[in-house]
Amino acid sequence: MITSNNKIIINNNCCDTYRILVIDFGSQYTQLLLRRIRELGVYSETYSFWNADISKISNFNPNGIILSGGPHSIVNNSYPNIPNALFTLGIPILGICLGMQIMAYKLGGTVKNIVLQREFGCSEIMLLSDNVLIKDIYDYIDDDTGYPIIDVWMSHGDVVTVVPDGFNIVGVNKNQQVAIMINEDKNLYGIQFHPEVTHTKKGKNILERFIKEICCCVSSWQINNITKDIINKISITVGKTDQVLLAFSGGVDSLVTAILLHHAIGRRFICIFIDNGLLLDNSISNRVYDFCIKHYNFNIIRISAEKRFLDALIGITNPEEKRKIIGRVFTEIFSEQISNLVSIKWLAQGTIYSDVIESGMSFSVFKNVIKSHHNVGGFTGIKNIHLLEPIKYLFKDEVRNIGLNLGLPYDIVYSYPFPGPGLAVRILGEVKKEYCEILRKADSIFFEELHRHDWYKKVSQAFAVFLPVYSVGIQGDQRKYKWVIVLRAVETTDFMTANWVQFSYDFLCIVSNRIVNEVEGVSRVVYDISSKPPATIEWE
Ligand code: XMP
C-alpha cells in the first residue's frame, strides 16, 4: 500500500491471519502486552484509543480486542473515550484494569474511587465460579473457603461497584470487590489485574485462554514464517528492476533489513552509512560495517561527517534538542546523497515497532515524556522516493530471532544496543570532540575488561558516560582537576525495566584503575547503581 506521503507499509499479514488488537489507554505495559501475545504465536498491534475508530478497527479485522490499563480515572470524567459500537461488533473483548472499568461504565455499570482500599502491588483473587477464561487456572485452593485463588498484580484506585446487565462476577479480591466480570453470551471479559506482568504468575495462561480458546486464534506468528513472508513482500513490493537505498546505521535492525533485502532483491540495493563521529571504537556499527563488507560484499557508501555533526551541536545542551539536531543533519546528508542517485526508487529503513510506539507517532498518551528516535519518519516526503520499512511491525527480540534465522552470528545479533544519537547522549550537556575521545577510550577499557572477566554476555548493555564536571584528583604530588567517568551496566530482557549489574568490587576496581591511569583527563570513576524505573538506561 502506498500512502499519500509515499510511505510503504509492509503489513505482515501472511502469517498474521490471526490477530489481536490492543486499544491503548496510555498504559506503561502496552508493549509488554503486545510481546506476550506475540510470544503466544499470534500477531498483535496497538492503536491508541483516540485513533481507534470503528472503521479502522474493522479494517484491521481482529479476532479479539484487548482494552489496556491506563493512568486515567472514570470517576473524574477525564477518562479516554471509545465508541460504544465497539461492544456490538461481535468480537471478543478483554478489558484489563482501566479497560475493564471503561467497559463496565460504557455498558451501564458503576465505577467508584476507593481511596482507602487502593491496590498497588500483589494481591489475591478468589474465583467464585468457573468460566472458560479461568477454568482450572489457579495458584492454590483456599483452606477455609475451598475456593481457588490466583496471585495477581494490581495497580488501581477505582473499582467496578455495579457490573452491567448480563455480566457475572467471577472473581473478587480480599475486600470482595469485583476483580473478574464476564458476559459469556456477548464474549466480553473484564479483569481488574494485569495478566501481562510476570508477578501475575498465571497471567500468561489467562491471556492464552482468551486468545486461543475465546478468540480461536492459532499460533502462526513464527519466526520462520515471518522471515519468508517479509522477503516475499519486499520482492513483490520493490518489483524486478527498482533500486533501493538503505539507511544503514550499522545496528542490528539495519543489518537485518539489509540481509532481508539481500534475499529479496539480490544486489539491487545500496547502503549509506553515515559516520557521525559519535560512534564507539567497539560499537556495533563499526563491527557490522566490517562484517557486511567481508561476508556479503555489500555496496556501502561510508560518509565521514564528524565535523558537520559536531559543528551543529556546538552550544547545545538539551538532550532532546541534540537528538533532533542529529536527526536533522542525518536527514540532510541523506537527502544530498539521494539526489546524487537518480535511479533510486525506494528508501529502506530498519525502523522497528518500539521506535514507532516510543516516538509517540501513533499511540501513547505518554508521548511527551519518551525520547524521540531519529529514524522514525525522518525521511518521509522525499520526492519520488517511497519509504520501505520491512520490519516496522517487529519488536527487537523478533528482529534478533530473524537475524539468527538468516544465519547471522550470535555475537553480532546480540551486541549491546547503541543509541542512534551515539555518544551525544552519553556526554552530558554540550558535545565536544575532546570529550568524545576521552569517552571512547574509557568505554574501550570497560569493554575489554567485560570480555576478559566473562561479563560481556551476562550483561544486557554496558557503557561509559562522560560527566562534564571537574573533580579533584592527585597525580604525583599535585592536585589536578579532571573529568568524571560513569560506568553503567544493566540486566534486562526487554529494556523497558532494568536492574543494575552487581559486579564484584574487584572487577570495578580493575576497570576504575585502568581508566584513571590510562585515560588522560579523567580523575574519577563512579558506578551507577540506579535501576529502570525510576532511572533510564541512558543518562540522557
Ligand atoms: P532508555 O535510556 O530509554 O533506553 O532506558 C532504552 C534502550 O533504548 C536505547 N536508546 C536509544 N536508542 N535512539 C536510539 O536509537 C535514542 O535516542 C535512544 N535512547 C535510548 C538505549 O541505549 C537502551 O538500549
Query: Does residue 228 carry a pLDDT above 60?
Result: yes
Tell me the pLDDT band of 360, cut-offs 50, 70 and 90.
Answer: low
Query: Does residue 123 carry a pLDDT above 60?
Result: yes
Q: Is 64 annotated as a binding residue?
A: no
Q: Is 207 annotated as a binding residue?
A: no
Q: How far apart are CA 349 and CA 284, in angstroms?
A: 17
Query: Does residue 368 carry a pLDDT above 60?
Result: no
In this predicted model, what pLDDT tens digit does every residue of 9-31 receive, in sequence order?
Answer: 455 455 668 999 999 998 888 98
Q: How far apart are CA 498 and CA 460, in angstroms?
A: 9
Distance 253 CA to ligand 1 centre (A): 14
Query: Does residue 465 carry a pLDDT above 50?
Result: yes
Q: What is the pLDDT of residue 126?
A: 97
Residue 194 catalytic?
yes
The set of cell numbers assigned to 206 is: 489467562
Select the more confidently predicted residue: 184 or 51: 184
Contact of 13 with 37, CB cutoff 8 Å: no
Distance 419 CA to ligand 1 centre (A): 5
The residue whose CA is least distant from atom 4 of ligand 1 is 537
Range ranked top by mean pLDDT from 263-267, 279-283, 341-345: 263-267
Q: What is the pLDDT of residue 370?
A: 40
Q: Which among 189, 51, 197, 49 is positioned nearest to 133, based on CA atoms?
A: 189
Tell me the pLDDT band of 477, cut-offs 50, 70 and 90.
Answer: confident
Select the more confidently predicted residue: 257 or 341: 257
Q: Is 48 annotated as a binding residue?
A: no
The residue whose CA is least distant from atom 22 of ligand 1 is 419
Distance 422 CA to ligand 1 centre (A): 10
Q: Is 58 annotated as a binding residue?
A: no
Going by their DSSP bridges, the two strands 269-275 and 119-127 should be labelled as unpaired
Strand order in the sheet with 140-141: 43-48, 19-24, 64-67, 93-96, 188-191, 178-183, 168-172, 119-127, 148-156, 140-141
Contact of 483 with 466, CB cutoff 8 Å: yes
Select the more confidently predicted residue: 93 or 378: 93
Question: Grid cell 457475572 — which residue?
Answer: 168
Q: What is the pLDDT of residue 8?
A: 46
Contact of 259 with 403, CB cutoff 8 Å: yes
**How many other β-carbons are positioned within 10 Å of the β-carbon of residue 5?**
11
The 10 Å CB-count burial string (b at 16+, else e) for 278-306 is bbbebbbbbbbbebbeeeeebebeeeebe
Catalytic hit among 15, 45, 119, 194: 194
Q: What is the pLDDT of residue 378?
A: 53
The residue whose CA is least distant from atom 18 of ligand 1 is 419
Distance 372 CA to ligand 1 centre (A): 9
The set of cell numbers assigned to 516 is: 584513571
Q: What is the pLDDT of residue 396?
A: 87
Q: Find all residues with CB under 8 Å of 414, minimum gap 6, and list them.
A: 400, 457
Q: What is the pLDDT of residue 307?
A: 97
Q: How far apart are CA 213 and CA 195, in angstroms?
A: 16
Q: Find all residues with CB under 8 Å of 229, minimum gap 6, and list them.
A: 12, 14, 15
Predicted TM-score of the model (pTM)? 0.77
**DSSP characters over 167-216:** -EEEEE-TT--EEEEEETTTTEEEESS-TTSTTSTTHHHHHHIIIIIIS-
In this predicted model, what pLDDT tens digit does every residue of 97-111 receive, in sequence order?
Answer: 999 999 999 999 999
The residue whose CA is least distant from atom 11 of ligand 1 is 419
Query: Does residue 189 carry a pLDDT above 50?
Result: yes
Going by their DSSP bridges, the two strands 148-156 and 140-141 should be labelled as antiparallel
The set of cell numbers assigned to 347 is: 528508501
Q: Is 146 annotated as a binding residue?
A: no
Q: What is the pLDDT of residue 81?
A: 87
Q: What is the pLDDT of residue 375?
A: 52
Tell me the pLDDT band of 533, cut-offs 50, 70 and 90.
Answer: confident
From 538, 539, 540, the mutation candidate for ligand 1 (largest count of ligand atoms within 8 A of CB) is 538
Task: Write out residues with Cβ below 6 Å of ligand 1.
Answer: 323, 371, 373, 417, 419-421, 425, 461, 495, 532, 536-538
Q: What would the mean pLDDT of 507-533 be, rounded to a whole number?
A: 96
Percent of the chain with pLDDT over 70: 92
Catalytic hit among 45, 72, 97, 156: 97
Catalytic hit among 196, 208, 358, 389: 196
Three-class SS string for 149-160? EEEEEEEECEEE
From 276, 330, 354, 371, the mutation candidate for ligand 1 (largest count of ligand atoms within 8 A of CB) is 371
Q: Which among 113, 91, 101, 109 is positioned nearest to 179, based on CA atoms?
A: 101
The residue whose CA is least distant from atom 8 of ligand 1 is 419
Q: What would the mean pLDDT of 375-393 be, rounded to a whole number?
A: 73
Going by their DSSP bridges, the two strands 478-491 and 499-500 should be labelled as antiparallel
From 284, 416, 495, 500, the mutation candidate for ligand 1 (largest count of ligand atoms within 8 A of CB) is 495
Residue 97 catalytic?
yes
Mean pLDDT (the chain, rounded): 89
Q: How far apart are CA 183 and CA 170, in angstroms?
A: 10
